[in-house]
Amino acid sequence: MRKLILVIIGILFLGGCGYLAYYLVNKPKEDNTGKKNLYKPVAVEKVKNSDIPITVKTNGLAEAIKKFELFSEVQGVFEYSSKDFRTGQNYGKGQILLSINSEEFQANVISAKSDFFNLLVSIMPDIKIDYPDEFQNWQSYLNAFDVEKPLKKMPEPSQQLKYFITGRGLLSAYFNIKNLETRLNKFVIRAPFDGVLTEAAINPGTLVRPGQRLGEFVDPSVYEVQIALQKAMIPYVQVNDTVVLKSLDGMFTTKGQISRINAQIDQQTQTVQVFVKTTDNKVKEGMYLQVEIKGQTIEDAFAISRSLLQNETQVFVVNDSVLAYKSIKPVYYFDEKAIVKGLENDDVIMTSNLSSAYPGMLVKTK
pLDDT band at 38 (very low <50, low <70, confident <90, very high): confident
Does 302 score more than 80 pLDDT?
Answer: yes
* Mean of all residue pLDDT scores within the chain: 88
42 vs 19, more confident: 42
Of residues 14 and 270, the one with the higher pLDDT is 270
Confidence category of residue 181, pLDDT binned at 50, 70, 90: very high
Residue 87 has pLDDT above 60, yes or no: yes
SS3 279: coil
Using CA atoms, how far apart are residues 112 and 105, in angstroms rounded to an integer?
11
Contact between residue 283 and residue 289 where contact means Cβ atoms under 8 Å apart: yes
Say yes or no to pLDDT of 145 above 60. yes
Residue by residue, DSSP assigns 226-246 as EEEEEGGGGGG--TT-EEEEE
pLDDT of residue 136: 93
pLDDT of residue 30: 52
pTM of the model: 0.63
Q: Mean pLDDT across the stretch 155-183?
A: 92
Contacts 24+ apart (CB under 8 A), 142-151: 142/117, 145/117, 145/120, 147/110, 147/113, 147/114, 147/117, 148/110, 150/181, 151/113, 151/116, 151/177, 151/178, 151/181
pLDDT at position 10 is 74
Going by C-alpha positions, the residue among 285, 307, 258 that lies closest to residue 68 is 285
Domain covering 41-53+300-365 assigned CATH 2.40.440.10 in the classification: no
- Res 36 pLDDT > 50: no
Average pLDDT of the segment spanning 256-272: 89
Residues of the chain with CATH 2.40.50.100: 67-101+187-218
DSSP 151: P
Q: Which CATH architecture has domain 67-101+187-218?
A: Beta Barrel (2.40)
Q: How confident is the model at residue 105 (pLDDT cuts 50, 70, 90)?
A: very high
Lowest-confidence region among 13-27, 162-176, 230-244, 299-313: 13-27
* Predicted local confidence at residue 270, as pLDDT: 85
State the Cα–Cα distance between residues 150 and 38, nearest whole angstrom.
99
* 23, pLDDT greater than 80: no
Instruction: Give the pLDDT mean for 81-98.
Output: 93
For 97-121, what is the mean pLDDT? 94
The fold for domain 56-64+220-298 equals: Elongation Factor Tu (Ef-tu); domain 3 (2.40.30)
Please, which pLDDT band fits residue 47 given cuts at 50, 70 and 90? very high
Residue 250 banded pLDDT, cuts 50, 70, 90: confident
Residue 19 has pLDDT above 80, yes or no: no
pLDDT band of residue 28 (cuts 50, 70, 90) is low
- Residue 170, classed as helix, strand or coil, is helix
Q: What pLDDT does residue 48 have?
A: 93
The pLDDT of residue 26: 67
How much is the average pLDDT of 103-118?
Answer: 94
* DSSP H or E run through 351: none
> What's the pLDDT at 6?
75
pLDDT at 267 over 80: yes
The residues of the chain that CATH labels 2.40.420.20 are 41-53+300-365
